[in-house]
Structure 1
Amino acid sequence: MDRTGSKGVAYAEHGGCVVKAVRLFDFIQFDGGSWQVVAQDGSELALKNLATNRIRRVPAVDLLIDDSYLPDDPRPLPSLENAAALERLSPAARDDVLALHGHVHEVLHGLPPGSSPGSTPKPEYDLTNPLQARIAAKLTELATRGIAMTERTMFRHLADYRARGIGGLADGRATRQASVSGRTDLRVLALIEAEVSGQKDVSTGTRSRVIARVRAAAAKSGLDVPSDATLYRILKKIEGSRHPFGNATTRRTQGNRPDRSWGRQAPSRPGELVEIDSTPMDLMVVYPDGSSGRVDLTVALDIATRTPLAVILRPVATKAVDAALLLARAMTPLPMQPGWDASLSYSRSVLPQGMLPGDEDLRSAIAAKPVIVPESITVDRGKVFIGSTFTAACERLQISITKAAPRTPTDKPHIERFFAGVNSGFTQYLDGYTGPNTVRRGKDPAAEARFTLAEVQNLLDWWLVAIWQNRPHQGLRHPAMPRKDLTPNEAFAALSSVAPQVPVALTRDDYLSLLPIEWRRIQPYGINFHGLHYDSPDFHPYRGVPSGLPAPADGRWEVRYDPYRLQAIYVRDHKKGRWIEASWTLTTHLVGPFSREVLAAAKKALDRRGETVAGRDLLAEINRILTTPAGRAERQAAQRTHLTPAAVPAPEAPSRPVVDPALMAPVPIQAPDPVVIDFPRRRHGRRIDLLED
């Protein structure tokens, strides 16, 4: 008997039970002294100090719950370990145990179990008879019922019942636990385990391949191998959830699980922990040149509230500037982001009626979405997140960065679950959905694609604020309501009441400061930015004037630009401490937001024709893409946007009408230079309105 516990509380272990008790005249340890219980008055005990003979009155309850109390001889209780033994048996085995229990109980107590008080036992089972006589009578009774049992067996049942209760009467074969290997040599079992573990990174094979390799390895070691049937049974028990003979992708994913119990991150306030990651989206969209392709989705997700702080879509692999821009958008509400209103207006004009709500409904939904300032960000080790652009932005904003383990997506499980939620709740309802893998992919998702990247971006922004933020999430539960799932907006409200956060949003100047930077000279016509001309009336004092900035500027001016919204660039006027917004000189020719991918598409078209990428040729190619789709892919893209066909203007015309979908009326736009382009075998064309990426 061990009389001291981990906290100094006395206990006694009898058959697995821990009991605390006190009796008269017990010698006990209490309150740092030795005492004897000398009297009891109701619920109070009189304790005599053995060192000073002082009498102390203590309630019995206070004595038993005190950590310093050590009892003299606790009263044991029978073990309740097998109280639920019948629940672990099959119905047939349970009926056999209950029948045997009735006979054993009658032999020991004279009456069957469940007899009413005052019942008289049968004469042969009267407790005045010796136990052996009662056993003999019971064996005779069983023999008349056709049940053969020896006296030795009955004595064994009585002993098991006294020691373990009704659970001791169960047949050991019904409760015996079978091992994985049975009687197979443990060294052979180790060979099988090694072969199953080795299937993680190899191509999927069959079980017969594993068995053949196990037999070959066992032959080298001189081990006896059981039959194939036994090896197949062992394999079935060892496989578990590792999928050694299933899909290779699933097997590698399961292999990334930690060899320990799952941990749980429980941030107590919004912004305490944010995860950022990118993944290819299961959707085909229309590119600016009329072709179709997939896009990357980059997200910053707050763990405490499951609120996506910012999302960015782009048709190519994410660059380092995208991570910094994601951080800027996370801390800037949508209406405050330069160029967002123009993008939304265009998407509303070309999308089917009702897909995007009106300005009032949209802004009310955006206002309900919380603005959260990140404190700590968990990222993977990709170049996009460990580059100097992103780390410098986090350092400036005093945001700590935590790097996940290499090739361990389980370090960011919440954002991986968010990606799955976007696919199930949003992506699969759009035309061009590709499915999670080739097995579930349609015949030609590229031909079904009809939405451009800017349209999908605006639709996703609306879905996040209207649907995701108001949908209950299983990972958001309050301890007082463990069965009630909260929405991200409700979780933010609950946490903000306990740990209030001061709403902070970046200003327009702060937002522009996080955009990528380049250096350009202000020419008399404006700024030439990647072959595109930008101009502003505020350039008048600086045309042809050096900025005076040292290297790397070398007299050029600082230019900031949004890679996804190239309708305008932003030039820093360091002399007056302001930003000058310069618009693209051909922006009136373009209804939708323009992006750098249009420029890339024009250059590719010139490269395919073997022409030089000169400024005049490049602008001509951009005008061709914007106004007259020539190729089959471009014509299909024009049909997907549901735009009215527009006649191709004559090259020598000094001006030409451009359809503004917001006004649905021709607006005469003066062309800067007439560009003569020869399109053989072309009679009619349709305009492609290009969207941002």
Structure 2
Amino acid sequence: MSARPGRLRLGDRVRFQEHTYTVVGLTGMQVRLADTHGSGMLVDQVHLQAAGDFAVIGAGDRTALASAALLEHLPEKVAERALWWQRHLVELLTGLPPDAPAGTRPRPEYDPANCSLAERERAKAAELVALGEEITARTVKRKRQRYEAGGITAVVDRRLAPHATLLGRADPRVVAAIRQAISESIPASTRTIEHARWRTERILAAEHGEGTVEMPSRATFYRIFDKLSHGVHVTGSARTRRSLADQPEGPFRYESVAAPGELMQIDSTPLDVLVRLDRGVPGRVELTALVDLATRTIAAAVVRPTTKSVDASLLLARTLTPEPMRPGWVQALAMSRSVLPHRRLLSLDERLEHAAARPVIIPETIVCDRGKAFISENFRSSCRTLEITFQPCHPRSPAEKPHIERTLESVATMFCQFLPGHLGRTAEHRGRNVEDEPLWSMLEIQELLDEWLVAKWQNRPHDGLRDPGVPGRTFTPNQKYASLVETAGYVPLALSGDDYVELLPAAWRAVNSYGVKVNNRIYDCPDLGSFRRQPSGVTRKRNLWEIHRDPYDANWVWMRNHWETGWIAIPWKHLGSVPQPFGDLAWDHAAADLRRKGEPNPTEEEIAGAVAALLIKASQGPSNADGPSTRMSKRDRRVAARTRAAAESPGLRPPQPEAPARPDADGPLADDEEAVAGTDDEPIAKVIPLGVFDPFKEADKRW
């Protein structure tokens, strides 16, 4: 036997497609075969040798090919010994050593034409004994058989080779119980190996009976457990353990995209930075971003106190809108100074004349997780309106949208860590007194993030944007967009005020005599005159009317005119009683606070007055002159600050109609204003102090 490939000659008998043929002709890359009946066929050599049952009859089996890389994991002396054995075994099998020069004739005792295999084995054993090796012919035969079966690695001493199995001679029942204990620990809290050992004993007792299966020693169990739990993090971080368990089995699939917007991913995560919400109140916000897979462009990113469905919808609006140059930005960030095809795009959309170097990408398919903000009917409706394919992931499958997961992590490491108030990704990475650092407001964080995305992210070479022909070259997101826009094209899409209203969350309500009631708030205006107590005509919604609202501004709602076209802007009935806009966050907090105080069924005016007082106190800040009972709690200040920050955050806003005229001081609203302003003129109840406790008087009372 030899590792050298054999040859196909005329007259050779071959096995092909479960039949035996004789080679009767060789012409170029084709072979002519003939069977026992004389019937012939012409077969391509590649097709012949690729057949599963192809073999040259009588040629014998080839020995396994040897590779020096297989010996790299062995000690140097062991590898040299294996190569030494290979040289002698090759001479034993072929008659010549591997390094014999051309034209060399075999030695007589190793000539396969004159000596049998057994004679050559005895001759080789005698030669090795003469060299000082204590080797018998039987040992030579055993080495030869192993070499023919497994190649050079088979002649290595098994005591020095890696173990054939990972667990050696461990009891399979114990191994199965340990695997079950490891699988049970994935969703549970982190425990020690001792708990896994106790759990293994319980599993064996339940399945095989108490004392039936002998547990290994403590040291042996630790060794087996370490091998089985490698890479699972059983005794490590629970977050890492669950993340690894959520990864899909098998190879990862590569998504091939060829155009900007063909496949995009959206997700949100808490920002690893404390922000100054209002009057120095520190708090955390969430970052919601949309990334394009073809160009790795962060099409839009918004910072909000909490991610709602309207935020995801407004993110689509920012994606479809050019990023304007801001005051203070250097001119190098303009689209006209970038690699983007500015002149060609300017002829299609005049808004790009003063735009920043961030491409406008129209999504075709958006992949998201099953967060409430993304699977909401409002976000789905926005995708349907913009003709975007909505594709949610499976539950607990972050690997189905890895690009946005890694992008948000990159924003944390490349942007957030350079800001004051950086919290780190976990509590163990957090420093002391982070809230005492000079914090940016949410509005300022949004401005800095927008500028950083244009200046840094869009001009940074991305490892996922490599040239297939030249893998050493990477592209920036702007460069990749400029190269793909030549073939993908560009379709501008302008968003009007009505488009913005379409992206707001929808609710279905009836138009009553007093107006429209949404979240215990009444909205009314003269334009509702002909719609009161009338059906909308949408029978599948029980003839209710479609109402759109902004969760961050409770002052207005918009009703779709199902009878004609367009929207009807409806103000809140008590809009004049609250001096500044607020959203559902402050409204719900004020309502819950009144319920905790025992107020029976708080009315809408009382909730509005409580919210107004909350915002007024937040704007004034705590006063040392006030007693502890008048100071706002930390939670109250945080809610007010988050509401104010959301109301002041930048973004597209629909043109709001003029607020209704404020009544005169003598009107009925004056009484409401007095109720909201407070009761400073009311008399304060008399305070009766407690008496001093006297133990002797108390003792006399007992007798």
Query: Taking structure 1 as reference, are residues 133 and 397 closer, same or farther at Cα in structure 2, changes over 3 Å only?
Result: closer
Q: Percent of aligned pairs with the same residue?
A: 32
> Which residue of structure 1 aligns with residue 223 of structure 2?
233
C-alpha separation between the residues in 2 aligned to 1:480 and 1:193?
45
Contact 1:89 1:174 (C-alpha < 8 Å) held by counterparts: yes
Question: CA separation in 1, counterparts of 2:379 and 2:164?
Answer: 56
Distance of 2:44 and 2:272 partners within structure 1 = 67
* Deviation of the 1:190 alpha carbon: 0.6
Which of 185, 189, 202 is equivalent to 1:199?
A: 185
Q: After the TM superposition, which residues 540-689 of structure 1 pair with which residues of structure 2 at under 5 Å, given as runs?
A: 548-549=530-531, 596=583, 629-631=621-623
1:242 aligns with 2:232: yes
Q: Counterpart amino acid of 1:90?
A: P
Displacement, 1:412?
Answer: 2.0
SS for the counterpart of 2:159 is helix
Read off the aligned partner of 2:62 and give its amino acid letter.
P
- 1:453 is displaced (CA, Å) by 0.6
Change (3 A) 1:577 1:37: same
Aligned to 2:204: 218
CA distance, structure 1, for counterparts of residue 256 and residue 144 of structure 2: 53
Q: How far apart are the structure 2 equivalents of 1:191 and 1:595?
A: 58
Equivalent positions of 1:412-491 (< 5 A) are 412-491=401-480
| Post-superposition CA distance 1:87-139 (Å, at most 9, x none) | 45331211212333455556677776535557799999899896477336414
Q: Distance in 2 between matches of 1:464 and 1:440?
A: 25
1:185 maps onto 2:174 in alignment: no
- Partner residue in 2 for 1:99: 84
Q: CA deviation at 1:515?
A: 3.8
Q: What amino acid is aligned across from residue 81 of structure 1 in structure 2? A: L
1:323–1:606 distance in 2 versus 1, CA, 3 Å: same
Tell me how many residue pairs correspond in the alignment.
581
Q: Is the 8 A contact 1:284 1:294 kept in 2?
A: yes
Partner Cα distance (1:596, 1:362) in 2:
35
2:381 aligned residue: 392
Give runs of aligned pairs for residues 90-489 of structure 1, distance below 5 A: 90-104=75-89, 114=99, 116=101, 131=120, 134-135=123-124, 137-143=126-132, 147-161=133-147, 166-219=152-205, 220=209, 222-316=212-306, 318-335=307-324, 357-358=329-330, 361=333, 366-489=355-478
> How has the CA–CA distance of structure 1 residues 597 and 465 changed in structure 2, closer, same or farther, with 3 Å as cutoff?
farther
Asked whether the equivalents of residues 30 and 45 of structure 2 are also in contact (C-alpha less than 8 Å), the reply is no
1:81 to 51, 54, 65: 65
Q: Does the 8 Å contact 2:143/2:155 carry over to 1?
A: yes
Question: 1:275 offset after TM fit, Å?
Answer: 1.8
Q: 8 Å contact 1:324–1:515 — kept in the other structure?
A: yes
Instruction: Give the match's secondary structure for 2:79.
Output: helix
Is there any run of 5+ residues in structure 2 with no aligned partner, and where? Answer: 339-354, 512-517, 537-544, 625-630, 635-661, 681-703
Secondary structure, counterpart of 2:317 in structure 1? helix
Instruction: Supply the distance in 1 between the matched residues of 2:109 and 2:3 (Cα, whole angstroms).
Output: 36
- How far apart are residue 452 of structure 1 and its match? 0.6
Distance 2:291 2:26 in 1: 67
Q: Deviations over 1:592-621 (max 9, x none)?
A: xx8759977997999899998697997787
Deviation at 1:177, TM superposition (A): 3.1
Distance in 2 (CA, whole Å) between partners of 1:18 and 1:120 is: 20
2:489 paired residue among 481, 484, 500: 500
**Is 1:275–1:302's contact at 8 Å kept on the other side of the alignment?**
yes
Separation (CA, whole Å) in 2 of partners of 1:37 and 1:20: 15
Q: Deviation at 1:389? A: 1.5
Confirm whether residue 64 of structure 1 aligns to residue 51 of structure 2.
Answer: no
User: Offset of 1:631 from its aligned partner?
Assistant: 4.9
Q: Any gaps of 5 or more consecutive residues in structure 1?
A: 1-13, 336-340, 346-355, 522-528, 531-541, 637-670, 681-693
User: Aligned AA for 1:478?
Assistant: D
Provide, for residues 33-57 of structure 1, a one-character-per-residue CA deviation record: whole Å limited to 9, x for no partner.
x9974687xx59896999999999x
Determine the C-alpha separation between the residues in 1 that align with 2:120 and 2:137. Answer: 11
Deviation at 1:576, TM superposition (A): 11
Question: The residue matched to 2:473 in structure 1 has which SS?
Answer: strand
CA distance in structure 2 between the partners assigned to 1:259 and 1:44 by the alignment: 42
Change (3 A) 1:290 1:495: same
What is the Cα deviation at residue 450 of structure 1?
Answer: 1.4
* Selected match of 1:510 from 499, 509, 513: 499
The aligned amino acid for 2:157 is D
SS in 1 for 2:220: helix
1:567 and 1:229 mapped to 2: Cα distance? 69
Change (3 A) 1:466 1:134: same
> Residues of 2 paired with 1:617 and 1:44: CA distance?
91
Q: Structure 1: how far apart are the matches of 2:190 and 2:446?
A: 38
Task: Give, in whole Å, the separation in 2 of the partners of 1:54 and 1:564.
Answer: 86
Paired residues of 1:276 and 1:299 also in contact (CA < 8 A): yes
**TM-score relative to the length of structure 1:** 0.67
TM-score (norm 2): 0.66
Is 180-189 or 79-88 further displaced after alignment? 79-88
- Aligned partner of 2:10 in structure 1 is 23
Aligned partners of 1:570 and 1:580 also within 8 Å: yes
Distance 1:480 1:432, change over 3 A: same
Deviation at 1:236, TM superposition (A): 0.6
CA distance in 1, matches of 2:31, 2:106: 45
Q: Distance in 2 between matches of 1:99 and 1:387?
A: 71
1:457 Cα deviation from its structure 2 partner: 0.9
Is contact 1:20-1:64 (8 Å) kept? no
Tell me if the contact between 1:19 and 1:77 (Cα under 8 Å) persists in the aligned partners.
no
Query: How many Å separate the matches in 1 of 2:568 and 2:434?
Result: 43
SS where residue 299 of structure 1 aligns?
strand
C-alpha spacing 1:182/1:488, structure 2 compared with 1 (3 Å)? same
CA contact (8 A) 2:333 2:356 kept: no
d(CA) in 2 for partners of 1:287 and 1:173?
68
Q: Contact 1:309 / 1:372 at 8 angstroms: preserved in 2?
A: yes
Change beyond 3 A, Cα 1:467–1:327: same
What root-mean-square deviation, in Å, do the aligned CA atoms of Structure 1 and Structure 2 show? 5.5
Question: What displacement does 1:462 show?
Answer: 1.4
Q: Distance in 2 between matches of 1:122 and 1:68?
A: 35
Question: Aligned pair in 2 of structure 1 residues 405, 551: CA closer, same or farther (>3 Å)?
Answer: farther
Measure the CA separation in 2 of the matches of 1:504 and 1:358.
Answer: 27
1:230 alignment partner, SS class: helix
Structure 1 counterpart of 2:77, one-letter code: A
The 1:419–1:569 alpha-carbon spacing in structure 2 relative to 1, beyond 3 Å, is same
Conserved 8 A contact 1:602-1:622: no
